[in-house]
Amino acid sequence: MMLYRFIALLLCQIVALLTFAVGFFPQKVVLKGDADFKFSSDAHRNINSGFDRLVLVVIDALRSDFLFDRNLSNFHFVHELMNRGEAWGFTAYSNPPTVTLPRLKGITTGSMPNFLDAILNVAEDDKSSNLKEQDSWIRQFQRQGKKIHFYGDDTWLKLFPLEFFEKYEGTNSFFVSDFEIVDNNVTRHLPDELLNKDWDALILHYLGLDHIGHKQGPLSQFMPAKHMEMDSIVKRIYESVDDRTLICVMGDHGMNELGNHGGSSAGETSAALVMISKMLKDYPLPAAQSAVEVPLFTDEDYQYLTAIQQVDLVPTIASLFNVPVPKNNLGVLIKEFLPLFEDRGTLKLKENYHQLMHLAGKDTNSTEKNIQAMLEEMKSIQGTLAHAVTNYDYKLLTIGVALMFVVTAITCWIFIRSVSSARSVSLSMAISVLLGTSMFSSSFVEEEHQFWWWVLISVIGYSWVNNLSYSKSHFVLIVCARLIRGWNNSGQKYFYEYTAASLLDAHPDIKWAIIAVTTIVVGTENASWDPLWLVASISTAFLCMLYKSSWAIVNGEQVPLWLESVIHFILKTESSDTLKPLLIPVARWFFQLATISIVTQLLYCKYYNKQNIIKTLSSTINIVLIFQTNPSNIPLFLIFFLMKKELDHLLEDLYVKDTSYIASTISLIMENFTFFQFGGTNSIATIDLTNAYNGVSENYSIYTVGLLMCLSNFAPVISWILYSLTCFQSYKNNKSYQDVQLSHLFYYCITGLFLLLACITFRYHLFIWSVFCPKLCYFIGWNVIIHGILENIVGPILLKIAQ
């Protein structure tokens, strides 16, 4: 196929996706201006809930069981306060996407999140989510002349104008390797703040607990100490303030079993919330708390004590501090706090009622309604509005789908005409159509790894049945595929306690022996033809092994004593504390050596050994991918190595006529299969940040971190793309690279068209944000990064150099 035609189709397909995405991602309808009291302001001036000051302590990713579960929580002082009646606990439902930026919008404006906020959450310089013109209790405090001091996650400083805060200092929320300094930089302000008390609201946002979750999960050995540190901070604040200060301790969201968040699982949406004041003991405890003693027995659904919506905090704070409820609030005043207003509680509830009615566009008539009737109607409106805050651009949706349909039709026509093998067409068609139709099921989208597992096994099985004389190779492929399948927990619905990775973690000697073998074998795979490259490859592999083992020691993972002794001997350190400062220099040495090796190999092979250029580069690039992979997943590269050897054998002997097409299709299957078996899903909760900061200091570039994050999350995918390029260079079959890539474009067009239609069909579905929006984002990412940049820009460049 002509090059310009392929490029035109590829670009049009990406344009169709992006056009659709712009029109599809929910855009909230926001009421402008500031709220005022519906009823007489004089009546509100006479209301006194008893609170003069607010201390809001946000502990990032504080899941409900971290605060309330007797087997997990180490917040002993908070438990003591709760049992004395001076603290009231709740489980607050955090609407997905469960990432910080949309959740902060929720707990300040009371509005439901926009899925686009989850994307903007990682854009350090983004200002489009600013709440300068949107009503919030922060803005209402500022309008009333209240002084606000803020210390912590700098996301707050991107959301709100700096003039809203009389004093402030931000800490970076994305440097997840730091557990301590990021919190110490918040706590160091407490002595002066608690001494002077020249504020009406003090906001503290701690990130360390969230960082521990991202690095090692909710059961990390560092978690108990972090709980106790946060508990001691709450105690310090409590003992320094008077009865008229309300302390609110909360999580902005929770985390899943892997320590990540962003999705809609029970762990991610169940955040802890506790309201603390000496004054609360004079009022009735919430019913769910009155008959129990905290901490509680484990609840697998994370539902402890009274369940509320997290946005309910907004009208509650507004009412307790006698400011108007923000215009776009969907929260309902927490009924347990009504007794604090004595006989004026009904007035505060009516303000909330009228605000919600106005937001819903309904007539208000609360004069004849009692408190219970109003609460029930408000909860009903809350549920309705929560699913009606989107406004799609149907013009852009139509253009996107129409353009995708045209591109798909043309691609299908060209693909069927240009591919001579009916077997290749049938395989690509079956994969594309089957996956495409599965997009209409939310469960299939969540469990897509199952689809690729059955596709891979079916392809291997079909080949085996038709080529029984090659049973050994097919048997090896089946065994390798099964090992990969059981390596990690995949998908979003089920979690298995025992996996191959967890079994290796329990036997560190075996684990690190396999890691060492993998690093050496993969790193020197194609270096034996020249001593110079052999030395460079061994050096790169050595630095990789040095860093990964040092990183494991510093992060408290189990490392064999002999390996730990070797690391301390080489780096002249004595403990993990002295080893930690060397992680960044060692990582940078690795990247520098790898870069020099790649550039030198390109220059040398271009003039002296073109036929080996991609194979030679593959060894170095695979070592970089291993460097960007979690230690538990590194042995998978050894399995890849074995599979590639057997695939080479089969391609050379059995599929001589269609080698390029078959290799390209197998690569597509393995790219997707290994992505999911590495622990990836179609949820943003499984985006791994653990290796995104290798060699990065605190003063980092978001683009550097973004590149490292892509290398980390797409490491197995890139490895199989390299294999596909190697196969094409070896078995061209008189085909151009674009002809071979046409099968991939065909796949992306068919599945993309089905996905866009599914998104339109389910645009008001309950799982639109938690399932279909993330899938669309992932699909665009695969199209742009994997198919567009790597396969059709980087790939052709490497092949051009190799000519």
Domain boundary among 697, 730, 763: 730
The candidate with the shortest Cα–Cα distance to 299, out of 254, 329, 340, is 254
Same domain for 567 and 644, yes or no, is yes
Of 540-554, 582-596, 691-705, 714-728, the one with minimum mean pLDDT is 691-705
Same domain for 13 and 116, yes or no, is no
In tens, the pLDDT along 367-405 reads 667 888 889 999 998 888 877 656 788 999 999 999 999
Of 120-129, 657-666, 682-691, the one with minimum mean pLDDT is 120-129
Q: What is the pTM of this model?
A: 0.83
Q: How many domains does the chain have?
A: 3
What confidence tier does 517 reach under pLDDT thresholds 50, 70, 90?
A: very high
Domain boundary among 670, 695, 730: 730
What confidence tier does 122 reach under pLDDT thresholds 50, 70, 90?
A: low
Contact 388, 338 (CB under 8 A): no
Same domain for 63 and 139, yes or no, is yes
Is the residue at 594 inside a domain?
A: yes
pLDDT of residue 367: 60
Of 307-316, 406-415, 602-611, 625-634, the one with minimum mean pLDDT is 602-611
Determine phi and psi for 88, rounding to 5 degrees.
Answer: -115, 130
Same domain for 364 and 409, yes or no, is no
- Winning range, highest mean pLDDT, from 27-36, 337-346, 460-469, 610-619: 460-469
In tens, the pLDDT along 9-22 reads 999 999 999 999 99
**Cα(248)–Cα(58) distance, integer angstroms:** 8
Same domain for 64 and 166, yes or no, is yes
Q: How far apart are the first and last CA of the chain?
A: 19
Is the residue at 776 inside a domain?
A: yes
User: Residue 579: CB partners within 8 Å, gap ≥ 6?
Assistant: 550, 553, 554, 567, 568, 571, 573
pLDDT of residue 396: 94
Same domain for 205 and 347, yes or no, is yes
Is the residue at 350 inside a domain?
A: yes
Range of the domain at 106: 28-386
- Winning range, highest mean pLDDT, from 39-53, 296-310, 348-362, 733-747: 296-310
What confidence tier does 734 reach under pLDDT thresholds 50, 70, 90?
A: low
Contact 88, 275 (CB under 8 A): yes
Same domain for 57 and 23, yes or no, is no
What confidence tier does 128 reach under pLDDT thresholds 50, 70, 90?
A: very low
**Between these two residues, 133 and 620, which has the higher pLDDT value?**
620
Q: Name the β-bridge partners of 89.
A: 274
Domain boundary among 678, 711, 730: 730
Is the residue at 391 inside a domain?
A: no
Same domain for 649 and 781, yes or no, is no
Mean pLDDT in residue range 463-490: 92
**Cα(399)–Cα(392) distance, integer angstroms:** 13
Is the residue at 225 inside a domain?
A: yes
Is the residue at 735 inside a domain?
A: no
Is the residue at 766 inside a domain?
A: yes
Residue 647 identity = L
Is the residue at 736 inside a domain?
A: no
Same domain for 493 and 352, yes or no, is no
Report the SS3 class of residue 370: coil
Mean pLDDT in residue range 219-231: 95
The H-assigned helical ranges of 439-530 are 442-446, 448-466, 471-485, 500-505, 508-523
Report the SS3 class of residue 628: coil
Same domain for 777 and 641, yes or no, is no
In tens, the pLDDT along 620-674 reads 999 999 999 999 999 999 999 999 999 988 988 877 677 778 888 999 999 999 9
In tens, the pLDDT along 67-109 reads 999 999 999 999 999 999 999 999 999 988 888 888 999 999 9
**Cα(707)–Cα(92) distance, integer angstroms:** 35
Same domain for 340 and 462, yes or no, is no
What confidence tier does 176 reach under pLDDT thresholds 50, 70, 90?
A: low
**Cα(460)–Cα(454) distance, integer angstroms:** 10
**Cis ω before 560 (30° cut-off from 0):** no
In tens, the pLDDT along 191-209 reads 999 999 999 999 999 999 9
Same domain for 480 and 584, yes or no, is yes
Q: What is the CATH number of the domain that holds 228?
A: 3.40.720.10
Give percent of the chain with pLDDT exceeding 70: 91
What confidence tier does 693 reach under pLDDT thresholds 50, 70, 90?
A: confident
